[in-house]
């Protein structure tokens, strides 16, 4: 008994600061192991699954001495764990090998194409949240009404539609028939050589340089693919918003706010939504991450020169270095966004921030 007491005390008496330190450490360990796991899986896919990665690179008609040289260069004759170690070291320094297709280092390629994807996914998420959150709130407030049913239907279709098909149809309609939008690519060929991007985000670059004509052109290029991605995230965001809002609107503090004489609008859009916003941030972050993924198919349809198109082009040419490099980057961004949403959650909810 007497020996047990100090231990118990030590556990519970641990100061707030050190408990916080431990939780931060645990969090870091999680992030790091997840990232290492990501690399392990891509290593496995790249080196173990194919029967002979060297053949995969040079093609099966290459002469035997070429294959052997590539095997030597790749270190394929070393034991597996040594190969993984080398792979790890290279990946952590941003070296994903050279792309067969472009003959550039994969990292260089990715740096060039990634901003296009980020810009597309960002505009898509903005569209999705801009319409998804209000629709979800309306559906929750008017639960069971026609609006609610309509929002549900819009969401269900968004969950069920093949995005590349919807993209093709929307091209037929908005580009070919109505000629409202531009296609393909990010920017008209006329501007391609006069316009020098600084940040890589064309919308921002055009504004910074005061090139309104170019801004309009870039906008006409991005609006359709971004709306498409936005629709997919709207389906998710509106559904989650509805469910969070239903939960908040049934809370006692809503009755108290009514008893104070606040208007319904203030109760819904300020009190309840502010509380729903805490979990909503996570939802929006997750949907942003999934748009990076959705961009793989969308970019193919719209010839959008981003990471998705880079990956699919490499796939078609069996360019494994490029495919795996792209996969690692998307996976890493996924992890990063999860970390970010976790931090945002803590900042937004006073119950966890102090």
Partner 1 sequence: MSGTVNSSPSLREWLLSDRPASRRQARLGRAYVIWRRFSENRLALAGLLIILGLIVVAVFAGQLAPHDPTQGDLRYARLLPPGAEGYILGTDDQGRDILSRLIYGSRLTLMVIILVAIIAAPIGLLVGTVAGYAGGWVDAVLMRITDIFLAFPKLVLALALVAALGPGIENAILAIAITSWPPYARIARAETMTFRNSDFIHAVKLMGASPIRIVTLHVMPLCTSSLVVRVTLDMAGIILIAAGLGFLGLGAQPPLPEWGAMIASGRRFILDQWWVAGMPGFAILVVSLGFNLLGDGLRDALDPKEAGQ
Partner 2 sequence: MTLLTVDNLKVTFPTRTGRVEAVRGVSFTLGKERLGIVGESGSGKSQTGRAIMGLTPSQAEITADTLQFSGLDLLKISPRERRTLRGKRVAMILQDPKYSLNPVMTIGRQIVETLKTHEALSMKEARQRALAMLEAVQIRDPERVFDLYPHEVSGGMGQRAMIAMMLVCGPELLIADEPTSALDVTVQLDVLKILDKLVAERGMGLIFISHDLRLVSSFCDRVLVMYAGKVVEELPSADLRNAKHPYTKGLLNCLPTIGSDRHPLPVLERQAEWRL
Which parts of this chain interact with partner 2 (CB under 8 A)? 251-253, 255-263, 271, 274-275, 278, 348-351, 354
- With binding defined as CB under 8 A, does residue 159 bind partner 1? yes
169 binds, among partner 2, partner 1, none (CB under 5 to 8 A by kind): partner 1
**Residue holding tokens 């969070």?**
244
> Cβ of residue 247: shortest distance to partner 1, in angstroms?
8
323 lines the binding site for partner 1 (CB under 8 A): yes
**What is the length of the chain?**
354
274 binds, among partner 1, partner 2, none (CB under 5 to 8 A by kind): partner 2
Closer residue to partner 2 (CB): 9 or 142: 142
For residue 245, the SS3 value is: helix
Task: Supply the DSSP symbol for 9.
Answer: H
The only residue of 71, 84, 200, 243 in contact with partner 1, by rule CB under 8 A: 243
The footprint of partner 1 on this chain (CB under 8 A) covers a number of residues equal to 55
Rg (CA), the chain: 25
Q: At what angle do helices 146-160 and 106-141 cross, to 10 degrees?
A: 160
**249 close to 268: Cβ distance less than 8 angstroms:** yes
Q: Is 143 in the site for partner 1 (CB under 8 A)?
A: yes
CB of 309 closer than 8 Å to CB of 316: no
Under rule CB under 8 A, residue 88 binds partner 1: no
Calpha distance 122→116 (Å, rounded): 10
Regarding 102 and contact with partner 1 (CB under 8 A), the answer is: no
Q: List the beta bridge partners of residue 105.
A: 98
| Distance from the Cα of residue 254 to its chain's centroid | 34
Half-sphere exposure for 120 (CA within 13 Å, toward CB): 34
The Cα angle at residue 124 between residues 271 and 329, in degrees rounded to 5: 110
Dist CA 156 CA 174 (whole Å)? 23
DSSP-derived 3-state class of residue 180: coil
Tokens 């590349």 belong to: 164
Q: Figure out which of the listed residues 76, 101, 318, 344 binds partner 1, where binding follows CB under 8 A.
A: 318
Using CB under 8 A, pick the residue from 157, 255, 256, 347 that binds partner 1.
157
Which two tokens mark 270? 């300020």
CB 98 within 8 A of CB 74: no
**Of partner 2, partner 1, none, which one sits near residue 260, judging by CB under 5 to 8 A according to partner kind?**
partner 2
Per partner kind, with CB cut-offs from 5 to 8 A, the member of partner 1, partner 2, none near residue 258 is partner 2
Q: Closest distance between partner 2 and the C-beta of residue 149, in Å?
A: 18
Residue 165, binding choice from partner 2, partner 1, none, Cβ under 5 to 8 Å by partner class? partner 1
Q: Is 8 in the site for partner 1 (CB under 8 A)?
A: no
Q: CB nearer to partner 2: give 174 or 345.
A: 345
Query: Applying CB under 8 A, which residues contact partner 1?
Result: 30, 33-34, 37-38, 40-42, 45-46, 49-50, 143, 156-157, 159-166, 168-169, 171-172, 176, 242-243, 246-247, 289-290, 292-294, 296-297, 300, 311-312, 315-316, 318, 320, 323-324, 326-327, 330-331, 334-335, 338
């Amino acid at each position: 008994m007497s020996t047990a007491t100090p231990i118990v005390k030590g556990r519970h008496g641990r100061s707030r600061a050190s408990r916080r330190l431990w939780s931060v450490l645990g969090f870091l360990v999680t992030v790091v192991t997840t990232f290492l796991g990501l690399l392990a899986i891509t290593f496995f896919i790249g080196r173990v699954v194919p029967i002979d990665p060297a053949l995969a690179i040079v093609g099966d008609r290459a002469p035997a001495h070429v294959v052997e040289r590539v095997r030597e260069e790749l270190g394929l004759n070393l034991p597996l764990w040594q190969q993984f170690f080398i792979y790890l070291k290279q990946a952590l320094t941003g070296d994903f090998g050279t792309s067969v297709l472009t003959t550039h280092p994969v990292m260089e390629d990715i740096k060039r194409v990634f901003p296009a994807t980020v810009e597309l996914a960002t505009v898509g998420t903005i569209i999705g949240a801009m319409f998804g959150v209000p629709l979800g709130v309306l559906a929750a407030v008017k639960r069971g009404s026609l609006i609610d049913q309509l929002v549900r239907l819009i969401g269900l279709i968004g969950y069920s539609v093949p995005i590349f098909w919807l993209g093709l149809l929307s091209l037929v309609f908005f580009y070919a028939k109505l000629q409202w939008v531009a296609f393909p690519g990010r920017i008209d060929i006329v501007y391609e050589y006069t316009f020098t991007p600084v940040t890589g985000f064309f919308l921002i670059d055009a504004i910074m340089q005061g090139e309104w004509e170019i801004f309009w052109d870039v906008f006409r290029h991005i609006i359709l693919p971004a709306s498409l991605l936005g629709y997919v995230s709207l389906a998710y965001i509106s559904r989650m918003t509805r469910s969070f809002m239903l939960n908040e609107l049934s809370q006692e503090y809503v009755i108290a706010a009514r008893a104070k004489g606040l208007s319904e609008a203030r109760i819904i859009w300020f009190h309840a939504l502010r509380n729903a916003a805490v979990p909503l941030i996570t939802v929006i972050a997750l949907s942003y991450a999934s748009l990076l993924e959705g961009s793989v198919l969308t970019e193919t349809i719209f010839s959008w020169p981003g990471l998705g198109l880079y990956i699919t082009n490499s796939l078609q040419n069996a360019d494994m270095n490029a495919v795996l490099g792209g996969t690692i980057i998307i996976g890493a961004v996924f992890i990063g966004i999860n970390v970010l949403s976790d931090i945002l959650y803590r900042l937004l909810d006073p119950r966890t921030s102090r």
